[in-house]
Structure 1
Amino acid sequence: MNLGILDTVSLAATLVFALPIALLGIERLIAGQTLLGGAFLSIGVLMVVLREWVTTPEDVPASAAKKVVGTVAKTDDDEEE
């Protein structure tokens, strides 16, 4: 999984919000509240997973630009194959 600078910053921002929720879920699981702990843990995990899988309107121009750059400019590795 190659992440660019913007993707890395976006993932870090998502983790800032998802980690406290997941940690609360783990704390609740340890305390014996399995339903509440499982729900919080699931929400925290889903925040990160959905960020990777769901395409937002902001992602469309970026993916189009990556395809155009990939077809126009070839790297040295692409020319050798």
Structure 2
Amino acid sequence: MDLGILDTVSLAATLVFALPVALLGVERLLAGQTLVGGGFLAVGVLMVVLQEWLTTPTDVPAEAAQRVVGRVAESDDEE
């Protein structure tokens, strides 16, 4: 998976919100509440997975900027 700077920052921001939810799920699983714990764990995982797979309206300008930079700044291999 090749992540740029913006992708890495976006993933870190998502993990800030997803990790506490997933840890709560693990805690509930260890406490014996399998339904609640599994639900929280699934929500935490889905937060990260959906953020990586879905394209949101804020992703469109970032993708356009990456395409422009890719065309303007050619690497040594392309020359």
- Cα separation, 1, equivalents of 2:70 and 2:6: 18
Aligned to 1:8: 8
Once the two structures are aligned, what percentage of the paired residues are identical? 77
Aligned to 1:63: 63
1:17-52: CA deviation from partner (whole Å, max 9, x where unpaired)? 100110010111111111100000000000101110
Segments of 5+ residues of structure 2 without an aligned counterpart are none
- Cα separation, 1, equivalents of 2:71 and 2:54: 24
CA RMSD, 1 decimal:
1.4
Question: Which TM-score applies when normalising by structure 1?
Answer: 0.84
Segments of 5+ residues of structure 1 without an aligned counterpart are none
- Cα separation, 1, equivalents of 2:37 and 2:54: 25
State how 1:2-81 maps to structure 2 within 5 Å.
2-79=2-79
Number of positions where the alignment pairs a residue of Structure 1 with one of Structure 2: 79
SS in structure 1 of the partner of residue 78 of structure 2: helix
What is the identity, as a one-letter code, of the residue corresponding to 1:47?
M
